[in-house]
Structure 1
Amino acid sequence: MTTNNQEKRDLERAAVKIWIDIYNRNHDNKLRLLYQRERPDAVIQDSRQRLMGVEITHLFYDSEEAKMLLGRSQTNTHSNEVVEMLVKELNNRIRIKESKIDTYASDYPISLLIRNASPAFGMSDILAVKHLIYKPRGKFVQVWFLSRDGNNEWLSLDLSTL
């Protein structure tokens, strides 16, 4: 496995573990990560022994921010950021993942987990412009948004309910 693939797997594992921790604090039907793979990225099991796939993506403001945060940029400055551009990228991530799900061979439902990796905007910023968020088309059973909000604590929201 190449370094970039391992880094991607590590980021996906961290995201799904954070999300499972939040989910388990708020629901009686507990989840656990069974394994990681491709298409979908993770398979989890609930306390009733049901399986669910989780497709995971990370949201960055743009490619330069991603490079900076992953230590691959030659610069350490970034342009002024506006939340509408982050939401545009969020909408793009949802659409891309929706277009790919039909190619997945799965015997169980699949959810989408989007981890906001941009330090510039948090959950409240996204909720302030929720009217701009693309409404998922039901291809995923849930579309979870994972983000910090002005502190180190992670928050989770099902975008399908907006």
Structure 2
Amino acid sequence: MDFLDEKWLLEENAALALVEILNIQQGNNYKILMHEDRPDIVIENQTDGKRLGVEVTHLFYDSEEARYVFGRSSQQNFPPNPQYIEEYVRRLNLLLQQKSEKAKGYNHDYPLALLIRVVSPLFHLCNFKVYADSVVVPSSDFDIIWLMFYDFEERRWTLLKRLR
């Protein structure tokens, strides 16, 4: 599979999960309207026509964890030791800063949201809650910033934590 195809699928699946969560939790009727670039996805509330541009990204510990999650790692002793949770927070802060800078160049007529899907098998909502005070949310053009976590009991993406 081509990298761009895989990136497109990852963004699309994250957006589908977001739409499902928003529709269930908020009683809305969102649908994906467009899948492009800058922002990656535009969703629309079918009830009132309001749109939201969504930039999608993923949080990993490092490139080796990404390969592990996608079944491309030959490393046998992954994931890394849980004592490195602070590194996830550092990487999250870096990702927030990078995406905030990138959003300054977006041309849009609707609010923007940043969706960070936390794909790591080690860093989860309970870890985030412990380190929440260490997360730095920079000023940006994003009206909403979400972290999305996998719910292992439900076996689907259902946990959404709003940072802004």
What TM-score comes out, normalization by structure 1 length?
0.90
Whether contact under 8 Å (2:44, 2:51) holds in the other structure is yes
Deviation at 1:150, TM superposition (A): 4.8
1:92: which partner in 2? Answer: 94
Deviation at 1:128, TM superposition (A): 1.4
What does 1:18-97 align with in structure 2 at a 5 Å threshold? 18-46=17-45, 47-78=47-78, 79-81=80-82, 82-97=84-99
2:103: which partner in 1? Answer: 101
Deviation at 1:20, TM superposition (A): 1.2
Distance in 2, Cα, partners of 1:120 & 1:103: 33
Distance in 2, Cα, partners of 1:20 & 1:105: 22
Whether contact under 8 Å (2:44, 2:52) holds in the other structure is yes
Q: Which AA in structure 2 matches 1:62?
A: D
What SS class does the counterpart of residue 127 from structure 1 fall into?
Answer: helix
Deviation at 1:22, TM superposition (A): 1.0
Q: Which AA in structure 1 matches 2:135?
A: I
Which has the larger displacement, 14-23 or 67-76?
67-76
Size of the aligned set, in residue pairs, is 159
Distance in 2, Cα, partners of 1:89 & 1:106: 27
Counting aligned pairs with the same residue, the percent is 34
**Structure 1 residues 5, 31: closer, same or farther in 2, change over 3 A?**
same
2:135: which partner in 1? Answer: 133
Which has the larger displacement, 118-127 or 28-37?
28-37
Deviation at 1:29, TM superposition (A): 3.2
Q: CA RMSD in A?
A: 1.6
Q: Which AA in structure 1 matches 2:137?
A: K
